[in-house]
Amino acid sequence: MVTGRAPPSGEAGPHGGAEQCKVRGKHNSRTVHLVATSPLSRRHLHRPTLVTVKVVVVAESFLPHMNGVTNSVLHVLAHLRRRGDDVTVIAPSDSLFDSNPLAEEIPDQPELCHGYPVIRVPSLPLPDYPKVRVAAGFVMRIRHLLEDIAPDVVHVASPFVLGWRAIQAAEALGLPTVSIYQTEVPTYAARYKLPWAEELLWQHVDRMHRASTLTLVPSSFCKTQLRGRGIPRLKTWRRGVDADRFHPARRSAQLRAQLAPKGEKLIGFVGRLAAEKQIEDLAVLDALPGTRLVIIGTGPQESALRKRLPHAHFAGFQGGDTLGEYVASLDVFVHPGEAETFCQTIQEAMAAAVPVVAVGRGGPLDLVDPGRTGWLYQPGDLPALRSAVEHLCADDDARSAFAQAAHHEVRGRTWEAVCNQLIGHYSRAIEVNRRLHSMRARRYLTGQSRLAGALMPLGVLPR
């Protein structure tokens, strides 16, 4: 229910804390059977404003694989825990055999994250990127899980395979879905030498989000993009930033001395080393006089990039406060990837008072104010990328002014604030779902009435 529920047991963990995920004893989830004559649960026909909420979070990607999707889900879970909400996570397992693909019940010994049970479903690794798992299985299993849990709303994080099953299962049960559009997968096709697949992938995106009660987009670019494809019920939901972890006070003279022993300006990138990030474009900066590239992250392209960027320092994966120290110690942050729906790393760099040079497509269009907090360049215009970085590295006064403006720009963009907005979107989805089902019921009854009117003179009534 949405009012008067006791908070789940356990204490809230820190933001994004993977250490909060463990295994506990028996899951004491109640079972609610849907007894409405249609698949729609009667619980969603009339409801008050949300006080606490029961949520199923379906994560296309989750721990132990850290990426933008996982990071956002962890912050959402931490916020829901602080509120005292009731949450269950459904996510891919690390193996095709870790879970019973035919199981329809919540396990007695669930994994925990922020005190919430995590139900794993079997998955397969991507051939060229085994750390990324793709869920296997069937819609029916997800439907049985949702029916057993009986949530108020289903939060679908970056749906594609597992998320699409969850959307279909929720729709069959009459449950509202809030789908988070976070990854522009179709544009990856060309980068992975599959240009013929792009339109097919867009058709899949269309199906998923048209079937969702609400779709939350992280940027104005994405809203325009999806609206142009005829996807309805779009709302903007951006990302928060950890202002303690990403702060100019974390700038480290010791780290800078290690990375730039000759006093070079540090130009940094943070992210997955994969084709869609277009890190090879940074080759135009690799031999820039008086500078050094710092590449933070791991991924399938690391070996090739080390050859392409021979002067760069590859720092590997960095997380937590160490990542904050690396980011704050940069002089300029760069991001060349054209497929970013938001680009959280840009926001984190700005919070650490590091000016940004990014490609002018997607999420960066909302984040970077050209000439004030950084520079944007047109996709493919690599000389403009180099020129913008040269300007910020050569002009100390301009770099300092941009840095202060960037830091000021993101103050107030806390995860607490954006997650409170998310609760409002949950409430809105429940109301939209109620209206949609009422409208469909009216259409059905009107159709039946017209059919009865047509058949009555014949002495036949529809059954």
13 vs 118: which has the higher pLDDT: 118
Q: How does pLDDT run across 416-430, given as a tens digit for each residue?
A: 999 999 999 999 999
User: Using 50, 70 and 90 to split pLDDT, how confident is the model at 333?
Assistant: very high
CA pair distance 409, 405, nearest whole angstrom: 6
Please report how the helices 344-351 and 320-328 are oriented relative to each other, as an axis angle in degrees rounded to 10. 70
Domain(s) of CATH 3.40.50.2000: residues in the chain: 18-22+35-240+415-446, 248-410
Position 35 pLDDT exceeds 60: no
Please report how the helices 396-410 and 344-351 are oriented relative to each other, as an axis angle in degrees rounded to 10. 110
Pair 166, 55: CB distance under 8 Å: no
Position 34 pLDDT exceeds 90: no
Q: Give the mean pLDDT of 326-350.
A: 98
User: Which of 86-95, 122-131, 170-179 shows the lowest per-residue confidence on average (mean pLDDT)?
Assistant: 122-131
Q: Give the mean pLDDT of 210-223.
A: 98
- Rg from Cα positions in the chain: 24
Q: How does pLDDT run across 343-387, given as a tens digit for each residue?
A: 999 999 999 999 999 999 999 999 999 999 999 999 999 999 999
**Portion of the chain with pLDDT greater than 90, in percent:** 71
CA pair distance 63, 55, nearest whole angstrom: 19
Contacts 24+ apart (CB under 8 A), 37-41: 38/174, 38/441, 39/172, 39/173, 39/174, 40/173, 40/174, 40/437, 41/150, 41/173, 41/174, 41/175
Task: Pick left, alpha or beta for residue 207 (phi over 0 → left; psi -120 to 50 → alpha; otherwise beta).
Answer: alpha
Q: Which residue has the tokens 């779009």?
A: 234
358 vs 67: which has the higher pLDDT: 358
User: Using 50, 70 and 90 to split pLDDT, how confident is the model at 93?
Assistant: confident
User: Which of 21-35, 167-181, 240-254, 255-269 shows the lowest per-residue confidence on average (mean pLDDT)?
Assistant: 21-35
Pair 148, 105: CB distance under 8 Å: yes
pLDDT of amino acid 65: 86
Model confidence, pTM: 0.83
User: Using 50, 70 and 90 to split pLDDT, how confident is the model at 136?
Assistant: confident
Residue 167's SS3 state is: helix
> Among 39-53, 112-126, 324-338, which range has the highest average pLDDT?
324-338
Burial of 82 per CB tally in 10 Å (0-12, 13-18, 19+): middle
Position 139 pLDDT exceeds 70: yes
pLDDT of amino acid 158: 95
CA pair distance 40, 36, nearest whole angstrom: 6
pLDDT of amino acid 57: 98
Across the chain, mean pLDDT equals 86
pLDDT of amino acid 211: 97
User: Using 50, 70 and 90 to split pLDDT, how confident is the model at 90?
Assistant: very high
User: Which of 14-18, 140-144, 271-275 shows the lowest per-residue confidence on average (mean pLDDT)?
Assistant: 14-18
CATH of 248-410, one of 3.40.50.9100, 3.40.50.1460, 3.40.50.2000, 3.40.50.620: 3.40.50.2000
CA pair distance 284, 286, nearest whole angstrom: 6
Q: Give the mean pLDDT of 112-122.
A: 94
**Portion of the chain with pLDDT greater than 70, in percent:** 80
DSSP E strand stretches across 99-188: 111-113, 116-121, 123-126, 129-135, 153-157, 177-180
CATH of 18-22+35-240+415-446, one of 3.40.50.970, 3.40.800.10, 3.40.50.300, 3.40.50.2000: 3.40.50.2000
CA pair distance 344, 358, nearest whole angstrom: 12
Question: What are the residues facing 270 on neighbouring strands?
Answer: 296
Neighbours of 377 (CB within 10 A): 21
Please provide residue 358's backbone torsions phi and psi, each rounded to the nearest 5 degrees: -140, 160
Does the bond joining 64 to the residue before it have cis omega, within 30 degrees of 0? Answer: yes
Neighbours of 270 (CB within 10 A): 22
Position 40 pLDDT exceeds 50: no
DSSP 249-285: GG--HHHHHHH-TT-PEEEEEES--SGGG-GGGGGGG
> Among 21-25, 79-83, 121-125, which range has the highest average pLDDT?
79-83
Which structure tokens are listed for 89? 């996570």
Q: How does pLDDT run across 430-446, given as a tens digit for each residue?
A: 999 999 877 766 666 67
Q: How does pLDDT run across 281-326, given as a tens digit for each residue?
A: 999 999 999 999 999 999 999 999 999 999 999 999 999 999 999 9
pLDDT of amino acid 115: 95
User: Using 50, 70 and 90 to split pLDDT, how confident is the model at 64?
Assistant: confident
14 vs 359: which has the higher pLDDT: 359
For residue 62, which of 39, 89, 42 has the smallest C-alpha distance?
89
DSSP E strand stretches across 326-449: 332-335, 356-359, 374-377
The separation between CA 290 and the C-alpha centre of its own chain, rounded to angstroms, equals 37
pLDDT of amino acid 460: 59
Question: Letter for the amino acid at 111?
Answer: E
Position 6 pLDDT exceeds 50: no
